[in-house]
Chains A and B, each alone.
Chain A
Amino acid sequence: MTETAGSTQIAVTTRVNGREVSRAVPVRLSLADFVRDHLGLTGTHLGCEQGVCGACTVLVDGRSVRACLMLAAQVEGSEVTTVEGLEDDEHATRLRDALSRHHGLQCGFCTPGIVVTGCELLARCAAPPAEDEVREALSGNICRCTGYTGIVDAVLDAAGSDGHRTS
């Protein structure tokens, strides 16, 4: 046993939005700060930095995670997708369009997290989800502008669910 096991800097190699990146980073750097400050991908927003608000949601190996509750060191060998990486994604394209039509955003701060979370839901659902499924899936993403009605409608619309409110 040594008192100096481990290190304070670490080399991380990962794929971010399809591009391989290798960086030496401090071990206490969060994944959120890594993509924002080291890779310049500022679409990932940081609200609470304690796993509550959902603004920093990204996909790691296709699954949504809080980028503030992961260390950059933990994505070694993984595939990271930020909201920028969803530009040509079919679900994201439909969802962005629906969010715009349903007034699913106002200030836009939470929107990247909503889009990433919504895309995971749309990709996961074999059949169009019901409203309560959409609300449960989005329950970890806080929006202080819209009151959620427009966001839920937009996800239902993008998913092709019947009976979504179109007004």
Chain B
Amino acid sequence: MKPAPFRYLRASTVEEALEALREPDAKALAGGQNLLTLMNMRLARPGLVVDLGGLDELRRSFEDDGQMILGALMTHRELLEHPELGARHPVLAEMVSHIGHPAIRNRGTLGGALAHADPAGELPSAMVLLGALVHVDSIERGRRTVPAEEFFEAHYETVLEPDELITWITVPDRGPRTGWGFVEHAPRHGDYAIAGAAVHLSTGADGRVLTLRASMLNAGETPVLIQAGGEDLPIGDDWEPWAREVTADLEPGAEDVDYVRAVAAAALAEAAAQASGRVRAEKEQR
């Protein structure tokens, strides 16, 4: 349970980190809550560890015309305690509160969670739900921007090239009258999800659901995006038949596929009911 030998470099600028990441065997170290675990178990044996801990510029966040621009090194705790982010995207705060335990949230970072790309992770799913843009940098290719829904390729695999680093994440403005819900079923709070669902939906003036966007956790090789509109959606609050239908083809990487599909369907129906309930409550307040 000790990591194999490696070389270590504490980067003091983003450029220095990018230069070091050109070495084929290099790995970027952010909060280390996944990478150091994998290194301790010797599932990862990088030749060079590039520590990003000194790059305070990537720990900042900005608001720009309704969108939030988040530094990749913001910790889960910083996301959770960010007042404006929580007000604009309550679903994100709710999802982050399900990540691990306090000590994990104190160290783990947004960029690290996206690069790790665990399909059971809350942040990959949250970014897909929110339609976030992932900005990545490298010396070779400069900056490119990848929509979160195209960022994840498979279990623990992303479109990142080995020399690329996630630097910033843009979370767009949420549309008007958007309700949200999040339900995760796990053996205990903070454990890996059996399955979960995050939902945003919008309604018309008459209260009918117009569009629904959902992102499923641990229900496939990557976060699974579900989009539905108008006539495909149930009228009223019985979401279960619809949820069972849209989760019937999921391919979770679990042994008991039918069980996970059933848990995913239940989570999706509950999250959709939460979301439509919230829209109703907001409207009644007005």
- Tell me whether B7 and A5 are in contact (CB under 8 A): yes
- Tell me whether B51 and A64 are in contact (CB under 8 A): no
Q: Which of A5, A7, A49 counts the most B-chain CB atoms under 10 A from its CB?
A: A5
**Interface members, chain B 1-33 (any A CB < 8 Å):** 1-10, 19-20, 22-23, 26, 29, 32-33
Interface digits, B130-171 against A, CB 8 Å rule (1 contact, 0 not)?
000000000000000000000000000000000000000000
Interface window among B101-109, B215-223, B230-238: B101-109
- Tell me whether A51 and B8 are in contact (CB under 8 A): no
Set of chain B residues within 8 Å of A74, measured between Cβ atoms: 29, 32, 51, 53
CA distance A58 to B27 in the complex (A): 26
- Tell me whether B188 and A139 are in contact (CB under 8 A): yes
Given the contacts A28-B6, A74-B53, A3 and B106 also touching, CB distance less than 8 Å: no
Interface digits, B45-68 against A, CB 8 Å rule (1 contact, 0 not)?
000111101000000000000000
- Tell me whether A69 and B33 are in contact (CB under 8 A): yes
Given the contacts A1-B19, A50-B41, A73-B10, A65 and B103 also touching, CB distance less than 8 Å: yes
Whether A131 is near chain B, meaning CB under 8 Å from some CB there, is no
**Interface members, chain A 115-136 (any B CB < 8 Å):** 117, 120-121, 136
CA distance A149 to B85 in the complex (A): 36
Whether A163 is near chain B, meaning CB under 8 Å from some CB there, is no
Question: Number of A residues contacting the other chain (C-beta, 8 Å)?
Answer: 38
CA distance A54 to B101 in the complex (A): 10
Which of these, B7, B32, B188, contacts A8 with CB under 8 Å?
B7
- Tell me whether B23 and A71 are in contact (CB under 8 A): no
**Interface members, chain A 58-91 (any B CB < 8 Å):** 63-66, 68-71, 73-74, 76
Interface residues on B, range: 35 or more
CA distance A8 to B1 in the complex (A): 18
CA distance A6 to B1 in the complex (A): 23
- Tell me whether A69 and B8 are in contact (CB under 8 A): no
Q: Which residue of B lies closest to A124 (CB)?
A: B102
Given the contacts A120-B102, A140-B100, A65 and B107 also touching, CB distance less than 8 Å: yes
**Interface members, chain B 165-207 (any A CB < 8 Å):** 188-190
Set of chain B residues within 8 Å of A120, measured between Cβ atoms: 102
- Tell me whether A57 and B51 are in contact (CB under 8 A): no
Looking at the assembled complex, report how far the CB atom of A20 sits from the nearest CB atom of chain B, in whole angstroms: 19
Whether B261 is near chain A, meaning CB under 8 Å from some CB there, is no
Which of these, A1, A6, A49, A57, contacts B49 with CB under 8 Å?
A6
CA distance A27 to B49 in the complex (A): 10
Set of chain A residues within 8 Å of B100, measured between Cβ atoms: 140
Which of these, A2, A48, A65, A71, contacts B8 with CB under 8 Å?
A71
Q: Which of A2, A4, A28, A117 counts the most B-chain CB atoms under 10 A from its CB?
A: A28
CA distance A1 to B102 in the complex (A): 38
**Interface members, chain A 1-35 (any B CB < 8 Å):** 1-8, 10, 27-28, 30, 33
Question: What are the 4 tightest A-B residue pairs by CB atom distance, in nearest-first order?
Answer: A140-B101, A6-B7, A27-B8, A49-B1
19 of the cross-chain contacts (CB-CB < 8 Å) are A1-B23, A4-B7, A5-B20, A6-B9, A6-B50, A7-B7, A7-B9, A8-B6, A28-B3, A28-B4, A28-B6, A49-B2, A51-B37, A54-B103, A69-B107, A70-B107, A136-B189, A140-B100, A140-B104
Binding site for B on A (CB under 8 A): 1-8, 10, 27-28, 30, 33, 48-51, 54, 57, 63-66, 68-71, 73-74, 76, 117, 120-121, 136-137, 139-141
Binding site for A on B (CB under 8 A): 1-10, 19-20, 22-23, 26, 29, 32-33, 36-37, 40-41, 48-51, 53, 77, 100-104, 106-107, 188-190
